[in-house]
């Protein structure tokens, strides 16, 4: 039986390999991931950067737009020494590679650098990817961007080692919700097995990434969860649950914003609701909106309609006004984006 070919076209893979092979060891290579980076953004980028180093490339830098703050759980990822703040990125790199970025808006001030680069390779897995970049390794069926990054370093002939594998494993575990989500296929487990075989200790990694938070983060979570609202009639009776967190909440508990990233998980486990909304303040009147669905709503399309993006069942956008304004907007759109 011939399996249908999936993933990026062979020409795109060949072009990406050729773009790297065309460069000498002293070429300037800039790696970029999305604003407010998560485990997949950082893990796929740094793992690939380490792979370039193994190939003899000495001038590799990794960065992301905006405030230069790495969430504590990722601070010890291998390859962290590749990471520089946005203003230290190469001005005119010979090659740019972009990781886990659905749209140029997620590149902030670095979007122009990508557009100006002679070659830009985009590795991504968002259904909402807008199609920027000159070489495109984009596969919405990939569980994480690290799936694509691992394939590219394999095609470049770099063997997996424990450092590269740890980066890719963190990325894969993050985006599959610790191997729970629908995208957790046989191929995902096979990749995880190859990564673990380099000597990783999954228990240690999971504890560090997912199960270690400051006491204040737990108290903050208690408050944010305590104010959640359940609307059983929303989404045509399938239910909506939502809550919000302000900058004042973070200040009161002396916590950095990353501690809110995983708070959507206890909220989305509410049995009475298909759709979950977590509204996180980023500035006065400006909110990072996280959307989840259990299947009734295509939240990616809903988010795109608001200038954001994501996956069918997990997406986000930037909202304005008060949290209730943001939720009003989402509630109003639910029926338009029913699956």
What whole-number distance in Å separates Cα of residue 155 and Cα of residue 111? 27
Task: List the one residue out of 290, 280, 274 whose CA is nearest residue 335.
Answer: 274
Q: How far is the CB of 175 from Mn ion (least distance, A)?
A: 5
Binding mask 266-305 for ligand AMP (x = CB under 6 A): ------------------------x---------------
Q: Decide which of Mn ion, ligand AMP, none touches 43; Cβ closer than 5 to 8 Å per partner kind.
A: none
Which of 137, 302, 315, 327 touches ligand AMP by CB under 6 A? 315
Assigned token pair, 143: 């569980």
Task: List the one residue out of 138, 192, 139 whose CA is nearest residue 170.
Answer: 192
What whole-number distance in Å separates Cα of residue 13 and Cα of residue 135? 8
What whole-number distance in Å separates Cα of residue 211 and Cα of residue 202? 12
Task: List the one residue out of 182, 107, 190, 103 whose CA is nearest residue 141.
Answer: 182
β pairing state of 275-283 and 240-245: parallel
| SS3 state at 303 | helix
**Residue 287 β-bridge partners:** 281, 319
Please report whether residue 40 would count as binding Mn ion according to CB under 5 A: yes
Contact 203, 245 (CB under 8 A): no
Q: Decide which of ligand AMP, Mn ion, none touches 327; Cβ closer than 5 to 8 Å per partner kind.
A: none
Q: How far is the CB of 106 from Mn ion (least distance, A)?
A: 9
Please report whether residue 274 would count as binding Mn ion according to CB under 5 A: no
Contact 104, 279 (CB under 8 A): no
**Residue 96 β-bridge partners:** 30, 120
Please report whether residue 38 would count as binding Mn ion according to CB under 5 A: yes
What whole-number distance in Å separates Cα of residue 324 and Cα of residue 308? 19
Please report whether residue 319 would count as binding ligand AMP according to CB under 6 A: no
Q: How many residues bind Mn ion (CB under 5 A)?
A: 6
Q: Decide which of Mn ion, ligand AMP, none touches 185; Cβ closer than 5 to 8 Å per partner kind.
A: none
Please report whether residue 310 would count as binding ligand AMP according to CB under 6 A: yes
Please report whether residue 173 would count as binding ligand AMP according to CB under 6 A: no
Please report whether residue 57 would count as binding ligand AMP according to CB under 6 A: no
Binding mask 121-140 for Mn ion (x = CB under 5 A): --------------------
Task: List the one residue out of 50, 171, 26 whose CA is nearest residue 99.
Answer: 171
Which of 314, 326, 330, 334 touches ligand AMP by CB under 6 A? 314
Q: How far is the CB of 259 from ligand AMP (least distance, A)?
A: 13
Residue closer to ligand AMP, measured from CB, 309 or 323: 309
Considering only residues 83 through 122, tell me which ones interact with ligand AMP, judged by CB under 6 A.
Answer: 102-103, 106
Which among 39-47, 155-163, 260-268, 280-288 is the span making contact with Mn ion, rule CB under 5 A?
A: 39-47
Residue written as token pair 């004042």: 248
What whole-number distance in Å separates Cα of residue 206 and Cα of residue 200? 11
Residue written as token pair 């959640």: 228
Which of 28, 94, 100, 274 touches Mn ion by CB under 5 A? 100
Q: Decide which of Mn ion, ligand AMP, none touches 41; Cβ closer than 5 to 8 Å per partner kind.
A: Mn ion
Please report whether residue 41 would count as binding Mn ion according to CB under 5 A: yes
What whole-number distance in Å separates Cα of residue 269 and Cα of residue 151? 33
- When CB distances to ligand AMP are compared, the closest residue is 316
Q: What are the residues binding ligand AMP (CB under 6 A)?
A: 102-103, 106, 126, 290, 308-311, 314-318
Q: What are the residues binding Mn ion (CB under 5 A)?
A: 38, 40-41, 100, 145, 175
């Amino acid at each position: 039986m011939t399996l249908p070919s999936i993933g990026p076209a062979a020409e795109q893979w060949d072009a990406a390999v050729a773009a790297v092979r065309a460069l000498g060891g002293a070429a300037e290579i800039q790696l970029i991931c999305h604003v407010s980076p998560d485990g997949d953004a950082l893990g796929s980028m740094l793992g690939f950067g380490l792979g370039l180093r193994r190939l003899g490339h000495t001038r590799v830098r990794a960065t992301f737009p905006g405030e230069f703050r790495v969430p504590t759980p990722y601070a010890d990822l291998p390859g962290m020494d590749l990471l520089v703040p946005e203003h230290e990125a190469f001005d005119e790199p010979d090659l740019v590679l972009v990781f886990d970025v659905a749209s140029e808006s997620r590149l902030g001030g670095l979007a122009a650098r990508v557009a100006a680069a002679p070659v830009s390779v985009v590795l991504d897995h968002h259904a909402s990817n807008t199609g920027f970049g000159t070489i495109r390794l984009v596969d919405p069926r990939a569980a994480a961007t690290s799936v694509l990054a691992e394939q590219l370093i394999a095609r470049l002939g770099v063997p997996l080692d424990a450092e590269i594998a740890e980066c890719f494993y963190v990325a894969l575990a993050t985006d599959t919700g610790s191997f729970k989500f629908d995208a957790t296929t046989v191929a995902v487990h096979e990749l995880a097995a190859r990564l673990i075989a380099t000597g990783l200790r999954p228990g240690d990694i999971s504890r560090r990434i997912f199960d270690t938070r400051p006491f204040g983060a737990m108290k903050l979570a208690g408050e944010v969860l305590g104010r959640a609202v359940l609307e059983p009639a929303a989404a045509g009776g399938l239910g909506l649950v939502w809550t919000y967190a302000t900058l004042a909440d973070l200040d009161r508990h002396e916590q950095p914003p990353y501690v809110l990233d995983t708070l959507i998980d206890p909220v989305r486990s509410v049995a009475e609701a298909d759709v979950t909304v977590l509204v996180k303040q980023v500035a006065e009147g400006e909110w990072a909106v996280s959307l989840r669905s259990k299947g009734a709503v295509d939240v990616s399309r809903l988010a795109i309609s608001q200038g954001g993006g994501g996956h069918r069942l997990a997406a986000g956008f930037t909202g304005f006004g008060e949290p209730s304004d943001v939720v009003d907007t989402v509630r109003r759109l639910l029926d338009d984006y029913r699956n």
